[in-house]
Amino acid sequence: MPAIGVFALQGDVREHLETLSRLGVHAFAVRRPSELERCDGLVLPGGESTTMAKLARTFDLLEPLRERVKGGMPTFGTCAGMIMLADRIVDGVAGQETIGGLDATVRRNAFGRQVDSFEADLSMEGVDGIVHAVFIRAPWVEQVGPDVEVLAEASGHPVAVRQGHLMATSFHPEVDDDGRIHRLFLDLVQG
Ligand code: GLN
């Protein structure tokens, strides 16, 4: 049974733990480097990326995270987690750090204030049927490098991407009972 950690210094950790547990994996919260070491894969939840980055730095987790991601640990970022995985961000706060690894430029709060939260039905590569996607002050992917596959788009912008062992969605697949997108991530873990 794979051991999947959920970064738990900030964000909607419980929803991811519940979804992963329902899919039959060993899911646990990661707050310190010793917990990160036990992960076969990691989820970076939605929340607030600036706070996540600061807390990861404060709790000595940022460099270990960078090393594990660079070392090939399957990692799935949702919303703020997508921002954390991006090599480049637009509209971050000054000096905002990320873990990086995903060769993409991600725009924070991209859908704008008027519609900062909305839901949309999407089709997504690798997932059968329609995906009901929940966006909350969501980023979109503005530019991708050659190794990044776009799995889904909304309003003409990529909102789900995969690059080797990394996967990211702008939306929150953990907020409803739909385990299909986490299962797609588990396929990366179990390769
Ligand atoms: N806007 C948030 C950020 O910049 C992300 C929102 C979310 O994760 N729901 O981190």
| pLDDT at 173 > cutoff 90 | yes
Q: What are the domain boundaries of the chain?
A: 3-190
Identify whether 174 is a catalytic site residue: yes
Tell me whether strands 41-44 and 3-7 are parallel, antiparallel or unpaired: parallel
Dump the DSSP string for 128-152.
Answer: -SEEEEEEES--EEEEE-TTPEEEE
| pLDDT at 45 > cutoff 70 | yes
| pLDDT at 31 > cutoff 60 | yes
ipTM: 0.96
- 190 vs 114 pLDDT, higher one: 190
Average pLDDT value for residue range 140-159? 97
For residue 170 and ligand 1, the question of a CB distance below 6 A is answered with no
Residue 108 buriedness (CB in 10 A; 0-12 / 13-18 / 19+): buried
Q: How confident is the model at residue 93 (pLDDT cuts 50, 70, 90)?
A: very high
Predicted confidence at residue 114, as pLDDT, reads 56
1 Cα: distance to centroid of ligand 1 (angstroms): 31
Helices (H) and strands (E) in the chain, counts: 6, 12
For residue 80 and ligand 1, the question of a CB distance below 6 A is answered with yes
Q: Is 170 annotated as a binding residue?
A: no
Domain 3-190 CATH class label: alpha beta
What is the per-residue pLDDT across 51-80, written as a single tens digit (0 to 9) for each?
999 999 999 999 999 999 999 999 999 999
What is the per-residue pLDDT across 97-138, written as a single tens digit (0 to 9) for each?
999 999 999 999 999 765 689 999 999 999 999 999 999 999
The closest-lying atom of ligand 1 relative to the alpha carbon of residue 92 is 4
CA–CA separation, 181 vs 191, rounded Å?
15
Structure tokens at 110: 């991209």
- Residue 157: strand pairing partners: 154
Identify whether 39 is a catalytic site residue: no
Give, for ligand 1, the residue of 7, 15, 136 to mutate: max count of ligand atoms closer than 8 Å to Cβ.
136
CA–CA separation, 75 vs 165, rounded Å?
7
Predicted confidence at residue 116, as pLDDT, reads 80
Predicted confidence at residue 158, as pLDDT, reads 98
